[in-house]
Structure 1
Amino acid sequence: KVQSQTKLPVALGMRYGSMSIKEGLEELAQKGVDEVFLVPLYPHYAMSSYETVVVKALEEQQKHFPKMQMTTMPAFYSNADYIKVLSKSIADGLKDFEYDHILFSYHGIPERHIRKSDPTKFHCKIDGSCCKINSVAHHTCYRHQCYDTTELVKKELNLPEEKVSSSFQSRLAGDPWLKPYTDYEFERLAKEGKKRLAVITPAFVSDCLETLEEIAMEGQEQFEEAGGENYKHIPCLNDNDAWVALMAQWIKDWETKALLPV
């Protein structure tokens, strides 16, 4: 769908899976492309997602396509147009659903990743207070960026403060991961009398096993077992027309050398 809205060649590359980033770059190279606009499809910066895409793409470019130039799209978690598109998608998902609470559930990462990606090496405390203090660390702080997305959507949709919260899903045993944990929140909210819960997963722009099974299916079971009654999983943007149009606009901005959206 993006290809239908731009004359420039568009290729897909996956960090883990097919087609690979190398194959995507090769497809573009075969079409005579020597300048590439790389768009990691993760709204927020994280070492384990956004950063790995950038590192892998540059590695493949330097190794196999040394004459190719590459420009990378910054994390777009707070981009005004993105927030509008995301908010509209959420509003559409909430139609005809009278919620008691809306939970923004983000992909979880180990706390040590937050500290490791802090360029100041002292700002991030993982206690929430540091996210509210302006710092260069926010450019690479996944936790801050997730909470910022929630706040911006809440403001865009004029959502009641007391009916919105954020959490983090998909943790592994061992190191402490970002809190609060989504599965614990399902239980807490239900036991606090929140009977109608809407859940959004804005760490992804496309639904995947994590959002469809862990959140949409298992999440509903956990919430209802804890006493909840109605559960609504709002899909990711996927191939939403407004989202496709926005990506096409970003490509145009890059093509015309306009400032990249941030």
Structure 2
Amino acid sequence: MLKLDHVTKKFGGLIAVNDVSINIEKGRLAGLIGPNGAGKTTIFNIITGVYRPENGRVYFKDREITGEKPHRITSLGVARTFQNIKLFYRMTVLDNVRVACHFRLKASILSAVFDLPGYSKQEKSITEESLKLLEAVGLYELRNERASSLPYGHQRKLEIARALATRPELLLLDEPAAGMNPEETLDLMKFIVRIRNEFDLTILLIEHDMKVVMGICEEITVLDHGNIIARGTPLEIQNNPEVIKAYLGSGAYARG
């Protein structure tokens, strides 16, 4: 589903990502962890076309997408969320999801201005699909509320619902549990596993909360200073001496 082939990204004299190769099979729920500044979000930005690597290539479903525009990569089936939630806070919950569907509209600007039948039909279809997504993520009853009024955990779910509205096959989650309390985190873990299964997704997530990573990820890649220092199952990562030294430590935090 996703392949990074010897990818390197530099910012001036700083090597943020150094010769990184990652392969993720269809249907997997994979984690990408490491200390702050290890290069994790930079990798997400390379995958989604925000950055172009100096060296290496990125493939999605065996198709090279290196350096493609972000909107083009989204249309191919890759969606993401952000470490800091990026909602349209003055818009309703429903409209936050609807806006993610509009890149699929085939109607012209004139048909929208004059509200022609073809445009109205597509708008109706988008609204129906968005309502179904909100129902699937448990936000249907809040559809007419402003996004800014939602509790933090619901805002995270809304951001994921908006990503799902693009009909992705690969979903990238950047620290989805950041800022959540233990109860919200547990709910999020169940939610991520459920949407992976219900929407037939492949998921790659960045996360610092080891309870989340060790609890739901099937495979984990560990970065340190832009280099991969380990990859394996949660149990293998927990017991890797290099990972313990660089990031996890040896306490209960490491075991999640």
State if a TM-score over 0.5 links the two structures: no
Question: TM-score of the superposition, structure 2-length normalised?
Answer: 0.28
Ranked by relative contact order (alpha carbons within 8 Å, sequence separation 6 or more), the top structure is: 2
Q: Structure 1 or 2: larger strand share?
A: 2
